[in-house]
Every structure is written in C-alpha cells, then in structure tokens.
Structure 1
Amino acid sequence: MSFAPRDSHEAQVQFALERGVPAVIGVLGTIKLPYPSRAFDMAHCSRCLIPWGENDGMYMMEVDRVLRPGGYWVLSGPPINWRNNYVAWQRPKEELEEEQKKIEEVARLLNWEKKHEKGEIAIWRKQTTSEYRRDQDPQPNMCESNNADSVWYKKMELCVTPFPETSDFNEDAGGPWKPFPERLNALPSRISSGSILDVSAETFQEDNKAWKKHVNAYKRTNRLMDTGRYRNIMDMNAGLGSFAAALDSPKLWVMNVMPTIAEKDTLGVIFERGLIGIYHDWCEAFSTYPRTYDLIHANGVFSLYKDRCDAEDILLEMDRILRPEGAVIFRDHMDVLVKVSKLVRGMRWNTKMVDHEDGPLVPEKSTWDPNTSVLKIGLVERSAVTSHFD
C-alpha cells in the first residue's frame, strides 16, 4: 500500500493507481494511520521528508504500531549517509548528524535491530517477541488502550503499542505468518486466538466457501472479470476479505474497505491473509482521485448505512471514483436494490438485476447479517459518456 499527500504537481497517488498499483491519499500528521496494528511486513520511506526523530519519535512509534512483529522499516534518503551528501542536499552537516542521531535513539527505544546501512539506505527490524520490554533501560511508555486497532480520527500517541500476549517470551507475538499465497487461506491468528468475537475457524471456512460460490456466479454474469479488464477493484464492505481471496489473480488487486461502523472489525484478519485494506466511513469521501477504480463491490453497504447518510451521497462518491465503463456489483436486500436501481438510472448507469445464484426466492444468512431475507444482485455499468449538452 502506497500513500502520499495530495500533490497537484506530482499527483503520485493518481499515477500509481493508473498503473494499477494500490495507493491512497494520506499524510503522516497528527491522526493515526487508517490501518490496524501489526498490519504490514515492511514500511518504506524514500525521501519522504518526514521528521522521524521529532516529537519524541511519535511518527516512528506509529510505524511500530502498524508493523507486525519481525517487520522491517526501510529509510532511504536524508539523513542517511549525510557525511557524503550534505553538500548536495544543501543542509548543514551538523543538522543532518543530529537528525540521524535522534532516529537512532528512537529505534533503540523501540528495540528495533539495525540490520543494514549502505549508501543512502538503512534497514531496521522490529523484534518478534515482547521479552525486551521487561529489561530495557530506559523503558518505553506503553500505550494503555485495550484496542490498538481503534484508529478512526484518533490522535497519535506518544507511546509504544504492546505486543499481543503469548504463553512464552520466546513465542512470536501474534503468531507466525505463512508465506503467500499459502497465507491467503490459512487460519489467521486473530481468529484462532479468539480475538474476533463470534468468528471461529468454522465460520472462516464457511465464509471462504460462500464467497467462492458468489464470485463464480458474478463471473457467469459479468464475463469481463477474468479477462484483465478490471485491475483496480474495491470491496466497500470487506468482512473477512473472502471476496478478494476468491478473486485471487495476478491480473488484479482489491482494496478491502472496513466500514468504521461495521459490527465486527476484521481488517486485521484481512492483512493477516496477505491482503490490503483500509478503514473508512462511507458517509465521507474516500481518499482517492476521481476515476481510479475499475470495479466496485458493495455487499450490504446501503443496508448498513440506511440510518446514517443518504444513499444518493454514497452513490455519487462511487460515481466519482469509478472509471468510465467501470462496473459495480450491488449485493443487498431486494427493497434496497429496487431503490438503488432507480437512483443509478438517473445517473445514466446501465443496470441489470439478477436473482440470487441459488434461485429467486432463496434466503441467505450471513455472518454479518443474522436476519434471514431474500437477497438479489444488482449489476451496473457506468457509461463512457455521463453527460451531454444540447
């Protein structure tokens, strides 16, 4: 996942998305990053001009939060190799030396092991266990929050996120991650440890099986899904990430969005599966440029937000981020889809309503919606030309 500020001159995020690379508009400022704890295998900063050593190392502590145990932090560019580059960078060598000194001090506080420094690249590795927390001097200030994944509009804290509890100090905190693609269908440690309420190993397997069936039905209806036509795909209500797992293909990638009002926060599970995602509230605009996604999957989104914000506003945001001739799959209750289909026709989207893959009157019970009801699938395609003038 790449993120960068909105930049009207460079538009780095827009270029990345147009190349089919996962990216969002974002900034490392005062608010926590919209990702769960222990999400990434590696964090990379290349000339990103972030003052890592300032504010008592708060930005590095946020990187520590989102890195899984054993994950790597790679820093390239200033101040690394300042002795040889201070003239080219047009900065005083004393200032650069102090900047790197602060970074090294914070890394030692976090007990990151420095693995490599050559040229303008330095690499640190986060510890895999919590044992060092007990004998380190000075001791880092540990965060008191019981939920390190509660980040939406939460300010960064000057503290270190605790490791998950283990039965042995030498045990990998959070459990070892399997290599990809085996990781995609392996049971995530957040589920095996019971961290996600009412989600068991059996629930996980059933969800995988159900979404393989759903995706096969989607492919029969939209035959472009396997052709490479859709590269950038978004799942607006990702659940356990099983829609993305069922689509698994080198031809595409899926942005798994976890609504901030979802009953269960499973974004950490999605990352443990080797997928990517982000927290978001669909009553607000998504952090991306217009026309950046080829296919959007909306499973139960309008039922979830029916008392929160207007369906028209969500549809307008979907229209903004969907590319011309892009497609949307709505999966929801029949009365909701009838309303949505009327709205999208007014937006000049081509629409098609199809029955549940098992038949027109088949009820479906979901992990995320315990109420049994008849569901239908709506398929729409955005026109290449959305407006005209007389």
Structure 2
Amino acid sequence: MHYIESIEEMVPDIEWGKNIRMVLDIGCTDSSFGASLLDKDVLTLMLGLKDDLVDLAQVALERGFPAVVSPFGTRRLPFPSGVFDSIHCGECRILWHSNGGKLLLEMNRILRPGGYFILSTKHDNIEDEEAMSTLTASICWNILAHKADEISEVGIKIYQKPESNDIYELRRKKNPPLCKEDEKPDAAWYIPMKTCLHTIPASIEQHGTEWPEEWPKRLETFPDWMNNREKLIADTEHWKAIVDKSYLTGMGIEWSNVRNIMDMKAINGGFAAAFSQRKVWVMNVVPVHAPDTLPIIFERGLVGIYHDWCESFGTYPRSYDLLHADHLFSRLKNRCKQPVAIVIEMDRILRPGGWAIIRDKVDILDPLEGILRSLHWEIRMTFAQDKEGIICVQKTMWRP
C-alpha cells in the first residue's frame, strides 16, 4: 500500500480509482500491486508472460484477480490501441530498448494519450538506463517523477505519453518514424509488432481523443465516437434485467462462490456492467471475427481481450468460476470445425463446481447438451421459447 501511495504522491493527477481506472501490470512479480489497487476501484489486468519462470498469472487468478497469459516479443498484445490509463512494470527486468525499442513502442500503442507508464527497478544498469532515456525521449514521453523508495529500495520512474501530435513534429531525429496511415493501430490479432509511432487520434470520431469520465461515471457515459448511443443504453438495461431477474435468482447458482467470470462473446460490455456492483470481475472476450467493440468495453472501465475461439485461450486450467456464452456457438458454426473443441476448452478453463450459462438457438443447444453430458457436466436448468433457448450447466469433479 505504501508503494501505491508513493506513486500518487509523486504524480497527484494519477488519482487511483477516479482518473485512473484501467491498468495493465506487465511482467508482474506478484499480485500485490493489483490487490492493493482493487480497494481503490482500479481494475488491474495482470499480464503473465509465457517465458516467466513462475506462474504468477496463475497465482493472480487463484486469488481472484484479472490475469491473462500472452507471448510478448514479436506479436502485438491482443488489445486495441489507447485503452489503458496506466501501464505498470514492477521490479522490471524487461529490456525495453532492445530490438529497436519494439516492446516499448507496443506499450505506447496500447497506452491512452496522456496515460502513465510506471517503471520500478531495484538495480539500474547505467548503460540500460541511458538507452531507456534515449528511447523514451525519442517517442516524446515526458518523465514526470523519479525517486528511490527508501523502504523498499526500489527506484520509481513515471512517464507520460503525449496528448497530441504536435510534439512529434518537433523531433529533430524522426526515429522511430511515424506509422503509415494504412497501419491500423487497433489491429492486434497475429499482427507483428512495429517499430513506428502511431499518431494520436485527433478527430472526434476516433476513440482516445478525450480522457474518459471518472469512475463510476464512465460506465454509463457514451462519448460521441460511440455510434448508436441509444442502442448501447438499451443493451445495458437489457442485460441488467436478465442478470437481476434471471441469473442471480433463477438459476440455482451459488454466487458466493463466483469471482472470476468470462463473457465468451461480449459485445458492448452490458453483461459485465450488470455485475459492476458485485464482488466479481468479468473478462470480456471479443471474438476476432466479430465487430470490433473492445474499445467501447475499455472506455466504459471494463476489461477485455481479443480471441479466436478456434484456438485455446491464454489462461491456466481451472481458472474461471463461471462462463457465459450468448449465441457464441451459432456464430462459430461455420468457422471452428466442431463445437466439441470449444466445449473441451470451456472444460479446461472452468473450475470443478464452476458454472456455464449458454444462450443460443435450440437446434444448436440440443447437440451441445449431449456433448456436455458426455463430460459428466450436470444440466441444472433448460428453457426454450420461439426456437431460442438457454441452458445452465455445472461442471463436476469427474475426470476420464
């Protein structure tokens, strides 16, 4: 907690839980940073790196904190551009300046304009420090504060990303260069990292031109770049009614045991918003072949990720308490070879005793029931009307 407070003292504008809501904790050494921020209404997504020696993301998920596992080296992270208010690398061992600064340029891509990059290290190598200073200056990051914490002996530096493109034009050396106009900053699935700087959004139709409202106002605030404001409000009310009147009371789910939830086909975050007052968190998964609504989800102060459900998800086995799939299977019918592959992945990531709520067309649900029974999942509730249905199932302790 002392560490969190010292950061806020160094840069008062940070205001955890008000100005800062969405944080990415990369290469986390433990989950205490995210745990401390949870009490301040900050949603911290811990990014476990696939080459980490210790499964720290698994520890975070066990403790009930948001975490994903991803390779970090050649491909972009599965997030849109400019969505994290702050990025934190604690006791950081990542060589940001290597490979032409590619890794730091990826941080620059996903950091919100005006957002903060918080770097803490125990022992600075002078050469690495000089290379990092040169790199951050070349991408126009402003160093707001630098001090050594006397208690933990950790040196903390806080950088801020520019809020406009003017400063890029003033650079004497145009290296790294600005990205070409056809280089889409939000394209993130299997896209190689680039060694160029994306320009900062300037038009009102683009996300990232303004800092969002303070939490919790940002959950119900819809900026001009979000089209169909009325549709978004209706979607939020729709899911709030379903969650309050059906999921929380009519399914027989033991909600006191539910903490980690995944919405496997999130659209605008309405399902997750319905749980905002409860002690749970929701991972909003936007399928890569669906319309790109992930910037909307982040703008509302909710966490999410891109994913292709024909592949395995970047998490550990038995890490979620509840999975929600709204017309996911009908959408994937012509993409993934067999629905059984998706069900097996659900079985992998759901804890024994965990729950799944699946909504879809009846002709999709009927064969799904057979697959779920073959895995010894218990069908707790089924309902169908006008060719649409819903099933609520619970995973058992059975193993083949």
> Aligned partners of 1:132 and 1:50: how far apart in 2?
27
> Aligned partners of 2:191 and 2:203: how far apart in 1?
27
1:35 aligns to what SS in structure 2?
A: coil
2:162 aligns to what SS in structure 1?
A: coil
Which residue among 359, 373, 390 is the counterpart of 1:377? 390
> Aligned partners of 1:149 and 1:350: how far apart in 2?
40
> Aligned partners of 2:193 and 2:53: how far apart in 1?
29
CA deviation vs aligned residue, 1:195-218 (integer Å, no higher than 9, x gap): xxxx41111111111111221222
2:305 aligns to what SS in structure 1?
A: strand
State the one-letter code of the partner of 2:74. Answer: T
Matched, 1:104 2:133: yes
What residue number does 1:193 align with? 225
What residue number does 1:141 align with? 177
> Aligned partners of 2:376 and 2:300: how far apart in 1?
37
8 Å Cα contact 1:294-1:322 kept in structure 2:
yes
State the one-letter code of the partner of 2:298. Answer: F
Matched, 1:386 2:398: yes
Root mean square deviation, CA, Å: 2.0
How far the C-alpha of 1:150 sits from its partner, in A, is: 0.9
What residue number does 1:116 align with? 145
> Aligned partners of 1:8 and 1:58: how far apart in 2?
19
TM-aligned CA distance change 1:378 to 1:60, over 3 Å:
same
What residue number does 1:85 align with? none
> Aligned partners of 1:166 and 1:9: how far apart in 2?
43
> Aligned partners of 1:19 and 1:176: how far apart in 2?
31
How far the C-alpha of 1:382 sits from its partner, in A, is: 0.5
What residue number does 1:283 align with? 310
Structure of greater Rg = 1
Number of residue pairs matched? 345
State the one-letter code of the partner of 1:42. Answer: S
Gaps spanning 5+ residues in structure 1: where?
Answer: 83-95, 362-373
How far the C-alpha of 1:308 sits from its partner, in A, is: 1.4
State the one-letter code of the partner of 1:304. Answer: R
What residue number does 1:303 align with? 330
8 Å Cα contact 2:91-2:121 kept in structure 1:
yes
8 Å Cα contact 2:215-2:301 kept in structure 1:
yes
What residue number does 1:369 align with? none
Matched, 1:4 2:4: no
CA deviation vs aligned residue, 1:137-159 (integer Å, no higher than 9, x gap): 22341112352111111100000
What residue number does 1:162 align with? 199
> Aligned partners of 2:75 and 2:208: how far apart in 1?
26
8 Å Cα contact 1:330-1:379 kept in structure 2:
yes
Which residue among 206, 216, 222 is the counterpart of 2:251? 222
What residue number does 2:42 align with? none
> Aligned partners of 1:228 and 1:124: how far apart in 2?
40
8 Å Cα contact 1:238-1:258 kept in structure 2:
yes
Matched, 1:49 2:93: yes
What residue number does 1:366 align with? none
How far the C-alpha of 1:10 sits from its partner, in A, is: 2.2
8 Å Cα contact 1:166-1:173 kept in structure 2:
no
How far the C-alpha of 1:7 sits from its partner, in A, is: 6.3
> Aligned partners of 1:337 and 1:285: how far apart in 2?
22
Matched, 1:23 2:95: no
1:221 aligns to what SS in structure 2?
A: coil
CA deviation vs aligned residue, 1:2-47 (integer Å, no higher than 9, x gap): 1122468521111100000111112321000111101101111123
> Aligned partners of 1:123 and 1:147: how far apart in 2?
28
> Aligned partners of 1:101 and 1:257: how far apart in 2?
39
Which residue among 126, 132, 154 is the counterpart of 2:167? 132
What residue number does 2:7 align with? none
1:228 aligns to what SS in structure 2?
A: helix
State the one-letter code of the partner of 2:388. Answer: L
State the one-letter code of the partner of 1:143. Answer: C
TM-score, length-scaled by structure 1: 0.84
TM-aligned CA distance change 1:107 to 1:250, over 3 Å:
farther
> Aligned partners of 1:20 and 1:6: how far apart in 2?
20
8 Å Cα contact 2:261-2:280 kept in structure 1:
yes
> Aligned partners of 2:52 and 2:110: how far apart in 1?
28
8 Å Cα contact 1:130-1:173 kept in structure 2:
no
> Aligned partners of 1:137 and 1:232: how far apart in 2?
48
TM-aligned CA distance change 1:173 to 1:131, over 3 Å:
farther
TM-aligned CA distance change 1:19 to 1:329, over 3 Å:
same
CA deviation vs aligned residue, 1:309-343 (integer Å, no higher than 9, x gap): 21000000000010011000001111111111111
8 Å Cα contact 2:251-2:381 kept in structure 1:
no
Which residue among 338, 341, 351 is the counterpart of 2:369? 341
> Aligned partners of 1:78 and 1:121: how far apart in 2?
9
TM-aligned CA distance change 1:173 to 1:265, over 3 Å:
closer
TM-aligned CA distance change 1:298 to 1:158, over 3 Å:
same
TM-score, length-scaled by structure 2: 0.82
8 Å Cα contact 2:201-2:207 kept in structure 1:
no
> Aligned partners of 2:70 and 2:277: how far apart in 1?
27
8 Å Cα contact 2:207-2:225 kept in structure 1:
no
8 Å Cα contact 2:164-2:202 kept in structure 1:
no
Gaps spanning 5+ residues in structure 2: where?
Answer: 1-44, 149-154
